[in-house]
Chain A
Amino acid sequence: MKNTLRQVFRPGKFLAGFIIFAFILLLTVLYPLFNPGDPLAMIGLNNFTKPGTYVSVYDSLNVNRTFVFKLPDAAEKRIGSKLFPEDRETIKDYLTRLGLPEDSIDIDDTHDLMALWWNNYDPANQIGKTIAERRAYTALDNKLAGIFVSEDLEVLQYDPGTDEYVRKKMVTENDYVNVGDVANTIWLPLGTDNFGADMLKKLVSAIGTSLLIGLIAGVVATMIGLLLGLLAGYLGGIADDVIMFFTNLFTVIPGFILLILISYSIDQSRRGATTVAIVIGLTSWVWTTRSVRAQVISLRNRDHVNLSKLSGHSLPRIVVGDILPYIASYVVMAFILQISSAILAEAGLSMLGLGPKTTDTATLGLVMEWSIMKSAAHISGAWWAYYPVIIVIALISFSLNLMNTGLDQIFNPQLRD
């Protein structure tokens, strides 16, 4: 057993395929543990959001102000934002009264405006102004002085247990804040799709479902193919003729067309991933049957089978003990290819709109379908909505085929030592 395993992993091809496949499989198992939740959930972002880290504006700050990170003229803008338009009007009013020409005062230029104020404002020279005006100017002057004193901001986090906002951190206004300290952020490495769902989460979930579809379809196709092939090959005669009649029938009708027809005849509400997988399996057993039959026919006439008969072994024992082990390697290889082709078949079906129902699961085919829907992703330049899916489908197919050729190197007696 140990030797067999060592031999299986010796060829680089198999190992390479295995590593790629194992990585994909591991991703589907581990990612949901770190990032649980419904993969189809629409988060509050727009369609086709770019990949990146997003901070929830509302939840992160208790103040009603835009929180801006890392702007080059942040200080000036911050100050500018605190100087309300009515204040600016008041300053202008004051300066024109002093006799400055009106057109030299630009109320939008915070810097100049404030410079003019400090140069010209004299608290002692309040002649000709009402008390109310004087008070207003004094208040304005105090406010302008206070603008340069930075305020503290609170980072709050909502605690659903107590229904209260709990302070997580205090930051001063002109500080930079660590993204990790901000309460409600979302990391979207692959952005969102047209429904505003997290693309990566959806993709990972889709890989899992698609692999499951491949597995179920592969098992169904291989079991049917193996059983029929064994029966036809070993029994021969009429059994062979009948089975081969149906096999040939299925060979002549293109499998994909059959698949489309069967899928179409099942109502969409009843088309779950499992149903689709079984339908794919039911239409792709033909080649397995044919090749298993051919191999069994050549094995049937081998002397060890004759000898087994002469030793009085029963038919099931001969089939299981003397024929199955010889074709097992071949069947394993066929099974791997079946998985790969089932995943592709599902993708094809879903793109035609005949895949599993769209409301409860994501599959690779469905993700593709959604992203190409009305070419929306392509038009809006949202590469993240379709390239990753294409790459994943190609990688799965590639890794399975690599493993298959790697196994061929092991099982092919010509290449064996």
Chain B
Amino acid sequence: MSSEKRELCLSGSGVTKVFGFGDKKTVAVDHVDFDFYTGELISIVGESGSGKTTLVKMLLGLTGVTEGDISFMGQKRDIRTHRKKKEYWKGIQAIFQDPFSSFNIFHKIDSVLLDCINMRGGRRLPKETKIEMMTEACSFVNLKFEELTNKYPFELSGGQMQRLMIARIFLLKPKILLADEPTSMIDACSRATILDMLMDLRRETGMMIIFITHDIGLAYYVSDSVYIMERGRFVEYGSADEVILNPKAEYTKRLLTDVPKIHDPWEFSRNKRYDFRKPPEAADGK
């Protein structure tokens, strides 16, 4: 990979997060280094308790960094005041796991989208322009703004809510999007829609997406590079094919053997498996 030409977007060195003091001390993220480049799609794979959510919060500036530095667009990140934080958040945004808890159930859907327009400096735009922008954002995610306006979040399904979250990102057009398990709470059938929309968004705006997931199959499917996280550390990283098809770290190897598969052998399987490229007719000859 020719990393010379690529623009460094988000990088960290020795990023650490410690909770508690003394005996109760837990190191959630332990001296993590990373370099993420503009336009990349990165997956951070880890099981529950691996510290990936804490890392996301640190990257977003929602929680402090105990030790180490995070640089944004080549400069050391400075988010000490509310104004600077606001400026930083114009460049980095997130989609969370649970669409049902991502919305304030007391606010109408419009207010979520209006916040985004205001944040992009569109506070003084005429009302018609604002509605036009919201309509455009909704149509990008296959929703009709006319049907959503004046509605409350609980009137939508999980998939629709998550699409609305993407519409929000569409309006904000940040440089970096942190997607924290955006598909784990929604049905398999809606998952493809959400993923497609994220890919479209990336193509359109050239944003970098950091995909956080526990589903190693999903990470392999969507990302360019994969970071495997275990107990607060990156145990392995590299391009998706390298890491998944040719794992080096013990943890990655174990993870990959333990995940149930359908074509490759799996230890306790009761069923025959078929070569992926064979036509289905061959499979039916039982």
Contacts and interface: CB of A to CB of B under 8 A. Distances in A.
B89 A322 contact: no
Interface residues of A, number: 17
Chain B CB count within 10 A is highest, among A302, A304, A309, A325, for A304
Contacts of B85: 312
Contacts of B116: 311
Chain B CB count within 10 A is highest, among A302, A306, A314, A315, for A306
Contacts of B98: 303
Interface in B86-104: 86, 89, 93-94, 96-98, 101-104
B86 A312 contact: yes
A322 B105 CA distance: 9
A310 B56 CA distance: 13
A310 B89 contact: yes
A311 B60 CA distance: 12
Nearest to B87: A312
Given A303-B97, A303-B98, A314-B82, A308 B60 contact: no
A321 B108 CA distance: 12
A326 B107 CA distance: 11
B282 interface: no
A309 B119 contact: no
Given A310-B93, A310-B94, A314-B82, A304 B103 contact: yes
A303 B102 contact: yes
16 contacts: A303-B101, A306-B60, A306-B94, A306-B96, A307-B94, A308-B104, A310-B60, A310-B62, A310-B89, A311-B115, A311-B119, A312-B115, A321-B106, A321-B107, A325-B104, A325-B106
Contacts of B93: 310
A312 B116 CA distance: 9
A308 B105 CA distance: 13
Interface in B57-102: 57, 60, 62, 82, 85-86, 89, 93-94, 96-98, 101-102
Interface string A47-61: 000000000000000
A304 B104 contact: yes
A192 B99 CA distance: 66
A303 B62 contact: no
Contacts of B119: 311-312
Interface in A271-310: 302-304, 306-310
Contacts of B107: 321
B196 to A, nearest CB: 23
A217 to B, nearest CB: 29
Main DSSP-derived SS at the A contact region: helix
Contacts of A307: 94, 96, 102-103
Contacts of A322: 104
B161 to A, nearest CB: 11
Contacts of A310: 60, 62, 89, 93-94
A326 B105 CA distance: 9
Chain A CB count within 10 A is highest, among B57, B96, B98, B105, for B96
Interface in A297-346: 302-304, 306-315, 321-322, 325-326
B89 A302 contact: no
Which size bracket describes the interface of B in this complex?
20 to 34
Chain A CB count within 10 A is highest, among B98, B104, B107, for B104
A321 B111 CA distance: 12
Contacts of B89: 309-312
Which 9 pairs across A and B sit closest by C-beta, in order of nearness? A303-B96, A312-B86, A325-B106, A303-B102, A311-B115, A304-B104, A303-B101, A302-B101, A310-B89
Contacts of A312: 85-86, 89, 115, 119
Interface string B34-60: 000000000000000000000001001
Nearest to A304: B104
B102 A304 contact: yes
Chain B CB count within 10 A is highest, among A302, A307, A309, A310, for A310
Contacts of A321: 104, 106-107
Nearest to A309: B62
Contacts of B103: 304, 307
Contact of A306 (B62, B82, B86): B62
A304 B107 CA distance: 11
A92 B177 CA distance: 125
A325 B111 CA distance: 16
Nearest to A311: B115
B18 to A, nearest CB: 15
Contacts of B62: 306, 309-310
A312 B82 CA distance: 8
A311 B98 CA distance: 18
A326 B96 CA distance: 19
Contacts of A314: 82
B101 A304 contact: yes
A322 B104 CA distance: 6
Contacts of A309: 62, 89
Contacts of B106: 321, 325-326
A303 B106 CA distance: 14
Nearest to B104: A304
A308 B103 CA distance: 9
Contacts of A304: 101-104
Contacts of B101: 302-304
Given A303-B96, A312-B85, A321-B104, 9 more contacts: A304-B102, A306-B57, A309-B62, A310-B94, A312-B89, A312-B115, A325-B104, A325-B106, A326-B105
Contacts of A308: 104
A315 B60 CA distance: 17
Nearest to B94: A310
A325 B62 CA distance: 22
B257 to A, nearest CB: 33
Nearest to A302: B101
A315 B104 CA distance: 15
A312 B97 CA distance: 20
A307 B116 CA distance: 11
A400 B98 CA distance: 37
Contacts of B102: 303-304, 307
Nearest to B106: A325
A190 B194 CA distance: 73
